[in-house]
Amino acid sequence: MKQISVFLENRPGRLANLLKILKENNIKVFAMGIAEAGNYGIVRLILDNPDRAIEVLRNMNMAVNKSEVIIVSIELLPEVSKVLGEAGINIDYAYTMDGRKVVLKVSDEIKASEVLRNLGMEFIV
């Protein structure tokens, strides 16, 4: 699954502006996590059209990155965390999606997918 990260100044109204731009371009937000980093924040998003969002946001002079993430059921998180740890795969960060799923950014998405697939665990990539 593709996630985009948008770097915003940590100032009032910046998030509202980002969400307004997405809405005006008919881009739906499925999940969002925000991390504060001093004067800036990182807004991580799962969207229905990440490639279009990147194009739109870059045209608005916003700094945007794309990365791969894995999405698992929140009920499976304890087992998934254990299995990934045993395989030497770090969970760099996580945030929830609709209260039933967790978005995971891992140190090795390909290896994590293989490990989870081999154990028959359900996930979205």
**Structural domains for the chain:** 2-67 (3.30.2130.10), 70-118 (no CATH)
- Return d(Cα 87, Cα 12) in angstroms, integer: 42
Task: Give the orientation angle of helix 14-24 with respect to helix 50-59, to 10 degrees.
Answer: 120
pLDDT for the residue 122: 87
Name the amino acid, one letter, at 107: S
Which tens digit of pLDDT belongs to each residue from 16-72? Answer: 999 999 999 999 999 999 998 889 999 999 999 999 999 999 999 999 999 999 999
Name the amino acid, one letter, at 73: S
Say which residues have a Cβ less than 8 Å from residue 43's Cβ, sequence separation at least 6. Answer: 5, 6, 8, 15, 18, 32, 33, 34
CA angle centred on 65, ends 107 and 108, rounded to 5°: 15
Question: Has this prediction a pTM greater than 0.75?
Answer: yes
